[in-house]
Amino acid sequence: MDIFIGFLNTTGISQMTIGNLIMIVVGLIFISLAIIKDYEPLLLLPIGFGAIAGNIPSIAGMPLSVYDPGSVLNYIYFGVSQGIFPPLIFLGIGAMTDFSTMLANPKLVLLGAAAQLGIFGTLLGALYLGFTPAEAGAIGIIGGADGPTSIFLSAKLAPHLLGAIAIAAYSYMALVPVIQPPIMNLLTTKKERLIRMKPPRVVSKREKMIFPIIAFMVCVLIVPGALSLLGMLFLGNLLKESTVTERLANTARNSLIDIVTILLGFSVGASTQAQVFLTSKSLMIFGLGALSFCVATAGGVLFAKFMNLFLKEKINPLVGAAGVSAVPDSARVVQMVGHKNDPNNHLLMHAMAPNVAGVVGSAIAAGVLWSVLVK
Amino acid sequence: MLNINMSIDNIFNGQGIDVALTGMIIVFGALVLVSLLISVLPRLLDFYARYYPEKEGHGASKKPVDDEIVAAIALALLQKRFQKSNKE
């Protein structure tokens, strides 16, 4: 009987706290959003399931959670805590990305830079709220709207905030179709939203092949801190564009990225134990995360309007919102908002240019913050 | 309980303005440079192509299909449909 009672005391039910229950509900909400609303299902589903798994109370003396050295989850989480998974995801993204629209219209690259205003604006907001500079840098990167970059930088600058930052980044990425349209409509006139852009020119194979090498060298020579992210991104793209490594490109954009996404999503979710996650800091991070997406969207749209002051061939300012590097969601949102205003205006191709430039921009910003703020 | 230490001094003590400005300038600088190189690249490649033209096949660009060929195919298909409907 004693053994039975002893066993009952070790069950998850007897050790469950209110905090654990709240986080399990959060996990269930993530899974529901993924399945019912189709919001970033590839990430929200493993993260949601991970959040449930991470909040099942573990037994003292048994290494089970991501924070218990030697546990299976701890080994998987190693890829997150040491920043190994994000560059591998970037390899896959590179092998999927077609930079031709950006190569066809280089001025749109600047919109990808302008949207990084969200990162630095949020950094100031986080400092104002009392976070340390390193923590503020890690929170600020949420504004890059790039999950792997957020995880990479927070693993380097503020590992104790990694769970909250990753969850905030991915949640808001999933909510891009909800967050961006009101800001885009607010900051543009009907006339601006109707602007039609010239179709992009055809880009030669040689340009596509040379671009990843040149862009990698330029960016990394300026910001060596972005080496692992941009190195993998441009390697992936070169695998795709070289046409001689199709097998490798296929593996990078299919099997590899899928495996890493599962491991990353699940272990990040499992790191959201109530005792670590449910703090006042996490609440502030969520608030700042929402702010960062708004500032980034506004930065891109307003900079497109600024550029129009000097350009003969005007840019549709909605395209600026795609500088937020949630690929390809923010480009889709631009297409959707543009299409609502003029059903014959197709902005998707144009929006992909600042979208992919935003990925490069946020990786550069992460490299800058890492080199400036690391102790 | 929320334990917030809000103060504008935090921004100055943490050199927030300096970090933000430096960061924005570097991001813009790097992407402007990338943008300039992308703009120059086609001209450089055109010049290079005069001496080393892009070859068909392995790694070369696919030539866009000529408009006249597309029109000819469309006409042929149209005629075939007409012939078919006349027979019926």
Residue from A241, A245, A364, A371 to probe the interface with B (highest B Cβ count within 10 Å): A364
Other Cβ atoms within 10 Å of A16 Cβ, number: 15
Question: Is A374 or A358 the better-scoring residue by pLDDT?
Answer: A358
Confidence band (pLDDT; 50, 70, 90) for A43? confident
- Note whether B5 contacts A: Cβ–Cβ < 8 A: yes
Q: How far is A375 from chain B (nearest CA, A)?
A: 13
- At position A245, the amino acid (one-letter code) is T
Mean pLDDT computed over every residue of chain A? 92
Over the stretch A135-182, which tens digit does the pLDDT of each residue have? Answer: 999 999 998 888 899 999 999 999 989 989 988 888 888 888 889 999
A70 Rama class: left (phi>0) / alpha (psi -120 to 50) / beta: left
pLDDT of residue A5: 81
pLDDT of residue B82: 75
Over the stretch A217-231, which tens digit does the pLDDT of each residue have? Answer: 999 999 999 999 999
Kindly determine whether residue A368 and residue B27, on different chains, have CB atoms separated by under 8 Å: yes
Query: Residue A101 is encoded by which pair of tokens?
Result: 């629209």
Residues of chain B with C-beta less than 8 angstroms from the C-beta of A280: 1-4
pLDDT of residue B53: 79
Residue window 41-80, chain B: list those with CB within 8 Å of chain A.
41-42, 45, 49, 54, 58-61, 64
Q: Is A342 exposed, middle or buried (0-12, 13-18, 19+ CB in 10 A)?
A: middle
Letter string b/e over residues B61-87, b meaning 16 or more CB atoms within 10 A of that residue's CB = eeeeeeeeeeeeeeeeeeeeeeeeeee
Q: Which residue of A has its CA nearest to B32?
A: A110
The pLDDT of residue B77 is above 90: no
Kindly determine whether residue B35 and residue A109, on different chains, have CB atoms separated by under 8 Å: yes
Kindly determine whether residue B30 and residue A207, on different chains, have CB atoms separated by under 8 Å: no
Nearest CB to B45 within list A114, A117, A207:
A207
Confidence band (pLDDT; 50, 70, 90) for B2? low
Confidence band (pLDDT; 50, 70, 90) for B87? low
Residues of chain A with C-beta less than 8 angstroms from the C-beta of B17: 124
Q: How far is B52 from chain A (nearest CA, A)?
A: 12
Over the stretch A293-350, which tens digit does the pLDDT of each residue have? Answer: 999 999 999 999 999 999 999 999 999 999 988 888 899 999 999 999 999 999 999 9
Kindly determine whether residue B27 and residue A361, on different chains, have CB atoms separated by under 8 Å: yes
The pLDDT of residue B37 is above 70: yes
Nearest to A168 by CA among A283, A91, A38, A68: A283
Q: Which of A8-22, A264-278, A333-347 has the lowest mean pLDDT?
A: A8-22
List Cα–Cα distances, A275 to A18, A159, A161, in angstroms. Answer: 10, 15, 13
pTM, rounded to two decimals? 0.86
- Biggest CA-to-CA distance, chain A: 85
Kindly determine whether residue B39 and residue A202, on different chains, have CB atoms separated by under 8 Å: no
Kindly determine whether residue B45 and residue A210, on different chains, have CB atoms separated by under 8 Å: yes
Residues of chain B with C-beta less than 8 angstroms from the C-beta of A213: none
- Note whether B20 contacts A: Cβ–Cβ < 8 A: yes
pLDDT of residue A39: 81
Confidence band (pLDDT; 50, 70, 90) for B63? low
Question: Is A269 or B64 the better-scoring residue by pLDDT?
Answer: A269
What is the dihedral sign for C-alpha B33, B39, B42, B48? negative
List Cα–Cα distances, A83 to A135, A162, A228, in angstroms. Answer: 16, 11, 9
Backbone angles phi, psi at A320, to 5 degrees: -60, -30
pLDDT of residue B59: 54
List Cα–Cα distances, A91 to A121, A149, A234, A317, A363, in angstroms. Answer: 28, 13, 7, 30, 13
Do residues A271 and A163 lie in contact, with contact meaning Cβ atoms separated by under 8 Å? yes
- At position A161, the amino acid (one-letter code) is L
The pLDDT of residue A118 is above 90: yes
Nearest CB to B31 within list A133, A214, A361:
A361
The set of residues, in sequence order, having a beta carbon less than 8 Å from that of B54 and lying 6+ positions away, is: A204, A205, A206, B60, B61
Kindly determine whether residue B19 and residue A137, on different chains, have CB atoms separated by under 8 Å: yes
Residue from B26, B27, B66 to probe the interface with A (highest A Cβ count within 10 Å): B27
The pLDDT of residue B69 is above 90: no
Mean pLDDT of B31-55: 88
Q: Report the C-alpha gap between B14 and A193 in whole angstroms.
A: 40
Q: Which residue of B has its CA nearest to A126?
A: B11
Q: Report the C-alpha gap between A18 and A28 in whole angstroms.
A: 15
Kindly determine whether residue A364 and residue B30, on different chains, have CB atoms separated by under 8 Å: yes
- At position B51, the amino acid (one-letter code) is Y
Confidence band (pLDDT; 50, 70, 90) for A130? very high
Kindly determine whether residue B6 and residue A128, on different chains, have CB atoms separated by under 8 Å: yes
Over the stretch A91-102, which tens digit does the pLDDT of each residue have? Answer: 999 999 999 999
pLDDT of residue A171: 83
Residues of chain B with C-beta less than 8 angstroms from the C-beta of A373: 19
Backbone angles phi, psi at A336, to 5 degrees: -65, -45
pLDDT of residue B80: 80
Mean pLDDT computed over every residue of chain B? 82
The pLDDT of residue B64 is above 70: no
Nearest CB to B34 within list A109, A130, A373:
A109
Mean pLDDT of A357-366: 95
**ipTM of this complex:** 0.88
Question: Is B54 or A182 the better-scoring residue by pLDDT?
Answer: A182
Highest mean pLDDT of the ranges A64-68, B36-40, B70-74 = B36-40
